[in-house]
Structure 1
Amino acid sequence: MPIKIPKGLPALSALEKEGVMVMDEAGPTFQYHRPLRIGLLNLMPDKINTEIQIARLLGATPLQVELTLIKTSSYVPKNTSSEHIASFYHDWSDIREQKFDGFIITGAPIETMPFEEVSYWGELTHIFQWTQTNVHSCLNICWGAQAAMHYFHNMPRYLLNEKAFGVFSHHGLDSCSPYLKGFPDDFHIPVSRWMEMRRTDIPPGSGISVLIDSSETGLCLLHDPRHHALHIFNHIEYDSTTLADEYFRDRDAGRSIHLPRNYFPGDCETLHPRNQWRGHAHLLFGNWINRIFQTTPADLATIGHPEV
């Protein structure tokens, strides 16, 4: 089934060229079950590419998804045109009375900054709390996952000696988890971060389970059932060239950056990288959407009611 996205969003034409079934918001609804409402709080500076990456994965599932793009009300994005933001994004303050089957919070390029110094941290804490009553299932990515673990569990972060940057081998730890359905024991995921959270700091009795980790880069995917959330510290949603774009951007700006590991063929930056994670990205997002479909209330308005 197609993903339903705002009319005119650049992701529409990009995904159509890739063969992804998409429809704009003016199109008809084809399935008997209502579309799943997924909100995307997009904190990334390159909003259009992030929209495409997330919509590609949501649109590959057999279920119809209605994607709502959201931004914080307390911060004005600087790297995306105001016309694009005005045309396609809703302030969280304007949709806070609505209910969502799923909600995604992306990473943000503010990783080494203390959470409390982030200009929109106060609003984000309200959003985290709001997800507990207005969202059936959350997926927090990279900085978004770190922020959620800090807010809900007071987990500390640690600065790495060098950036964890490249494509690293990961291991699935719970083959019975519905979120890891179809995953092999070992697989590759892109990593791009300066900070880490550690297993030893997971609070006892929190109910958190580690679903994916890496011997090289540590924790990757956590299941947090008490807050009906998945927290993924790495970027399984990335395109083939996203790490290359980050590498050349930082190198050309004179920032300290090493070649992404296990990425360019033969470590030759002039060769096109091979995507080793695409299938697993589709699996994870497909499993998440399928789990939402199986467990979300039929009546959207009853999301957040403890008796449902």
Structure 2
Amino acid sequence: MRLSTSLSALGLVACALAHPDVTTTDANGIRSIPLRTHSLSAPYLDSDMQSRWFDFGGNTIVRADQYIRLTSDRPSQEGWLFSRVPLTATNWEIEVEFKIHGLGNLHGDGFAIWLTKQRATPGPVFGSTDRFEGLGIFFDTYKNNRPGTVFPYVMAMVGDGSKSYDKSNDGKENEFMGCSARGIRGASVPTKAKLTYFQDKSLRLELQYKSEDSWELCFETSEPPTIPSVAYLGFSAETGELSDNHDIISVSTKNLYDTKGRDSTMNKPGNKGASKGSERYSKKKEGGSWSWFFFKMLMFFMVMGGAYVGFTAWRAQKGRSHRF
């Protein structure tokens, strides 16, 4: 029994060593660092049936082994999911796997991705509050009044805290950028959205819905909007007379750094504070990496020692049973 327990613990440590949070650098010199505080994956909830980093409400249902369902395929529902802490990274990438599906031939209304000062506030804009301050990305599946536009339609809106969403015209007067995405509802492949932001440099939205590992560019701009320095990451959805299931499958958020010195905020002339901050961050990460390495090694040797003690006891017990 001791041997089994010790070897099980050893297996858990081996898994932990084999699956750390991975920091990577791509061919363009962009380093990405995972942000646990703004990422989600099954089973979504901790042992106390709460999420450490996210709040949810409205008609949201958590199916721990499959999805977070913002709305079910029923009329007049709304649900939301918001981070508990703001996303303060200067540059970031958010990749969301989602699923929009239902039984009816007619369906609606859609869901939204938010980066706003407001959080966890139900309202008429895809289940969240109107007159928001920040960025909203709307996945609109029902066409109200927008001639010449193919639906589903994905659009970005930049809110200033006073501007109201033009719901009757599907946000036509509010659109910052957008694209048609026919086939994103009920797709045969995992549907994903990847939003990449570099402050004062670029904003890009890519979608996966035609084939797996194939990204379609929805929009990209070299003049991105200013996102509030304190902005919460959120998701919301709503149904009206028509309905759909709106599921969030996973969220992966990463902090981005340009290692080749092209970061528009870290390398602006005279922006010494940002440079010093990045130096402090690098030193902290380096020290933290060594500390974590020694901690893992210590755990490894402790588990190995426990396994040896358990194995020795087992052999002694076996020897005594043989003598009888």
- Scaled by the length of structure 1, the TM-score of the pair is 0.29
More strand by share: 2
Q: Which has the higher contact order (CA 8 A, sep 6+)?
A: 2
Larger radius of gyration: 2
Q: Which has the higher helix share?
A: 1
TM-score, length basis structure 2: 0.28
